[in-house]
Amino acid sequence: MTGTVTHDPPPGSAERPGRPLIVTEDAVLLDDLLRLCAAAGATPEVHHGVPESGDGWAAAPLVLVGDDAAQRMRGVARRPGVVLVGRDQDDPGVWKRAVQIGADHVLMLPDGEPWLVDRIADVAEGIGRPALTVGVIGGRGGAGASTLACALAVTSAREGLRTLLVDADPLGGGLDVLLGGESAEGLRWPAFAASRGRVGGGALEESLPELHSLRVLSWDRGDCVAVPPPAVRAVLAAARRRGGTVVVDLPRRLDDGVAEALAQLDMALLVVPAELRAVAAAGRVASAVGMVVRDLRVAVRGPYAPGLDDQEVARLLGLPLAGEVPVEPALQRPRGGTKPPGATGRGPLARFCAHFWERALVETGGVR
């Protein structure tokens, strides 16, 4: 059982990790809270009452107050990030005590353990704003969605943003291949197929191959062609917690795993070649994707069929126009030692990607 009184982020949690503060004299409760902190990878500071130094109370990113200590905490300076922890599910007075100490949440063990582990882990990782997460999906086969996804990720990393590129298409050949890193050391999707619950964001990032200053989660050459939806949810949630940008290359085939990926997007780009059959196919994709993604935009790729331009394609699909994806050799799959799309920072494709991030970051409040 958990309950919310108010909900504000603790001060400073977006800028730095910190040690949670535990206030209790209940030895059994303390053992449980220490166990949960260990599970979340955090080392807490423990006191029987308000720390003698006021800085300890004010600076802790998260404060766990045992219900036994609530009376001793009355009159303490109010601050966000306080959780009142107890065990008696039937005690109506717990809500009054929570209000008296200014607690954000009331949590009862053992039912509330999963929520509390997640909250402590957020503190341990120094969680701030989630990553700006952009999905790219083709309106038809061969639209160039994977190439655009790679170019967006490479451009984001070149701008100095923490960037993670996720290959959500097991039948697409592998984005690590497109980036020239199929032999790079690091984990691929099959290693996360059994993931449940919470995946550590830092551990995820460090385990993946690093190519062109970004991290890549792609597929290996084995037989695994699907990852269970809970694993997709856990992995993408971990990627988002690290901030920066996450780019997801999506297949046109929508299953439960892809739906989990779509649900975590801030924005999706539908790449549509400017031809009537492609627009018709893209309309069906847009109908399915639009049921999950609120911000779906069309990126139009030439050359243009007679009577079509980027504005007309957007009008026919009823979607806002993200822009015209330039036609250049980099839109074709690189071969041999050719650099990946957007790697040089020059050319129309790189300029498109740079302008896209500039606009998207402004719309969402800046660098995360």
Q: In terms of C-beta distances under 8 Å and separation of at least 24 residues, what long-range contacts does 300-305 make, across chains too? A: 300/272, 300/273, 300/274, 300/324, 300/325, 301/143, 301/144, 301/271, 301/272, 301/273, 301/274, 301/325, 301/327, 301/331, 302/273, 302/274, 302/327, 303/274, 303/327, 304/274, 305/274, 305/275, 305/276
What share of the chain in percent tops pLDDT 70?
90
Residue 346: pLDDT band (50, 70, 90) is: confident
Residue 4: pLDDT band (50, 70, 90) is: very low
Question: Is residue 316 pLDDT above 80, yes or no?
Answer: yes
DSSP bridge pairs for 63:
21, 82
**Rounded to two decimals, what is the model's pTM?**
0.74
Question: Is residue 348 pLDDT above 70, yes or no?
Answer: yes
pLDDT score at 114: 86
Residue 333: pLDDT band (50, 70, 90) is: very low
**7-16, 198-207, 288-297: range with highest mean pLDDT:** 288-297
Question: Is residue 211 pLDDT above 50, yes or no?
Answer: yes
pLDDT score at 105: 93
Question: Is residue 327 pLDDT above 90, yes or no?
Answer: no
Superfamily of domain 21-125: Response regulator (3.40.50.2300)
Cβ neighbours of 316 (radius 10 Å): 16
What is the dotted CATH code of the domain comprising 132-364?
A: 3.40.50.300
CA distance 91 to 96: 10
pLDDT score at 127: 64
CA distance 337 to 340: 9
Question: Is residue 272 pLDDT above 70, yes or no?
Answer: yes
pLDDT score at 54: 58
Residue 328: pLDDT band (50, 70, 90) is: low
pLDDT score at 9: 40
Question: Is residue 10 pLDDT above 80, yes or no?
Answer: no
pLDDT digits (tens, 9 = 90+) for 288-302: 999 999 999 999 998
Mean pLDDT, residues 31-60: 85
Residue 157: pLDDT band (50, 70, 90) is: very high
Average pLDDT taken over every residue of the chain: 87
Q: What are phi and psi of 280, to 5 degrees?
A: -65, -45
pLDDT score at 292: 93
Domains 21-125 and 132-364 share a fold: yes
Residue 15: pLDDT band (50, 70, 90) is: very low
**How do the domains of the chain map onto residue ranges?**
21-125, 132-364
pLDDT digits (tens, 9 = 90+) for 115-134: 898 888 888 777 667 899 99
